[in-house]
Amino acid sequence: MMFGVNLPLPPSTNMMFINSPNLKGKGRFPSPAYKAWKKAAKDIVEKAWEHQGCPLIDKPYSVHIRLNVNHQSDIANREKAITDLLVATIPGFPDDCWINRLVVERDRSVEGASIEVVSLPGDARPIGEIIKPILERCADMQLLHLLIQSKSTASEKKQTILNFAGSLSDEEVTLLIQAYGLETA
């Protein structure tokens, strides 16, 4: 899926937070400029997302940001405000740790910031996320894991999964076999 939006130019990361004068530098808070930008940008993101049919962004994803800034400003310092806003504003939007590709470029032809987010192909779920729900359905997942680890050959490990996993679907058995690196055994 894809999502695109044009936003006002975000503040630089250097201007997003201020030190608390009351705590003698022991506290940082959002700056008034950052608060104002977030409020305005949040409304724009929400409307654009709804207007585009509430697209679901899958993980992993890429972000392409074009900024209208001159060469006296560091373009890399503006990405964080944008990605944090997307994660906080759009329901179900993956955390920014799922960004596999990030392009930030200077483009004097855009007004403010132009953002394009695209889901990348492939199942990038961590292996633990894939097998945990399957193993939780087994009577004793620790026993299964120990049984698999105790076998010396890949074919013995694969047979252990097949013997133990009687209550699992064929797809779940296949995922377990792949998760333990036994797909060729």
Residue 29, pLDDT score: 83
| Model pTM above 0.75 | no
CATH fold for the domain made of 2-119? 60s Ribosomal Protein L30; Chain: A; (3.30.1330)
Q: How far apart are CA 114 and CA 41, in angstroms?
A: 12
pLDDT (tens, 9 = 90+) of the chain, 185 residues, equals 789 999 999 998 888 888 877 666 567 788 899 999 999 999 999 999 999 999 889 888 999 999 999 888 888 889 999 999 999 999 889 998 889 899 999 999 999 999 999 998 865 555 566 666 666 655 555 666 666 777 777 778 777 777 766 666 777 777 777 777 776 44
How, if at all, do strands 61-67 and 17-19 pair? unpaired
Residue 43, pLDDT score: 96
Q: At what angle do helices 32-51 and 79-89 cross, to 10 degrees?
A: 50
| Long-range contacts (CB closer than 8 Å, 24 or more residues apart) made by 144-152 | 148/180
- Which sequence spans correspond to the domains of the chain? 2-119, 127-179
